[in-house]
Amino acid sequence: EVQLVESGGGLVQPGGSLRLSCTGSGFTFSNYEMNWVRQAPGKGLERVSYITASGDIINYADSVKGRFTIARDNAKNSVYLQMNSLRAEDTAIYYCAAFHDYWGQGTLVTVSS
Amino acid sequence: DVVMTQSPLSLPVTLGQPASISCRSSHSLVSSDGNTYLSWFQQRPGQSPRRLIYKVSNRDSGVPDRFSGSGSGTDFTLKISRVEAEDVGVYYCMEGTYWWTFGQGTKVEIK
């Protein structure tokens, strides 16, 4: 069974940092581009960042460029999202996705004082 | 930037009746490799998105055949031939040719 499990979400103050993790199983993780997609409360879907299977290409949405960093460790079947200088508008459920084939259940990030 | 526009945004449907969702892109979604990267996702209440259709008309494994996708260039459609109760949720189109840009979502509910 394919599984993607996110962790690391929580409540953080504006300007703070969080590191999200996502671990995959049931598929060949190292073959997949990995993505982070977020969904603000009651809103639609926004791709935040992706990293290719080998990690050689990385890209970010303009809304997070310079503040978020994506990384992966294929030996651990994991992808990470380091989020710095968080803002209220970053409040969302963050999903990791293997390409767009498989999706996790998401982890909630709340940025509030 | 590519803009994906869905209509309608709300779709009340009678059980057993058909439903259709339109998705229009501000740019042609035909890629330089000749493929058109347009997908459809279903998000049931409280769940994560699930892909139904990829590359315009290819149904994912396990997706009922009452779901079908069609279109080309900038205009695309998702059809449900006979709506069932489990189809309630929000449906998103997404272009994968340029980045991943999602439509605003169409909420399907039962009348």
Nearest residue to A48 via CA among A90, A16, A8: A90
Q: How far apart are CA B57 and CA B63, in angstroms?
A: 12
Residue A46 β-bridge partners = A38
- How does pLDDT run across B24-78, given as a tens digit for each residue? 999 999 999 999 999 999 999 999 999 999 999 999 999 999 999 999 999 999 9
Identify the DSSP state of A101: T
Nearest residue to B36 via CA among B95, B79, B93: B95
- How does pLDDT run across B83-102, given as a tens digit for each residue? 999 999 999 999 999 999 99
Q: How far apart are CA A79 and CA A34, in angstroms?
A: 7
Contact between A45 and B102 using a beta-carbon 8 Å cutoff: yes
Q: What pLDDT, on a 0 to 100 scale, did the predictor assign at position B14?
A: 97
* Chain B residues touching residue A105 (CB < 8 angstroms): 47-48
- How does pLDDT run across A40-94, given as a tens digit for each residue? 999 999 999 999 999 999 999 999 999 999 999 999 999 999 999 999 999 999 9
Confidence of residue B110 (pLDDT cuts 50, 70, 90): very high
- The answer, for B59 touching chain A at a CB cutoff of 8 Å, is no
- How does pLDDT run across A8-35, given as a tens digit for each residue? 999 999 999 999 999 999 999 999 999 9
Closest by Cβ to B48, choosing from A46, A59, A105: A105
* Chain A residues touching residue B92 (CB < 8 angstroms): 44-45
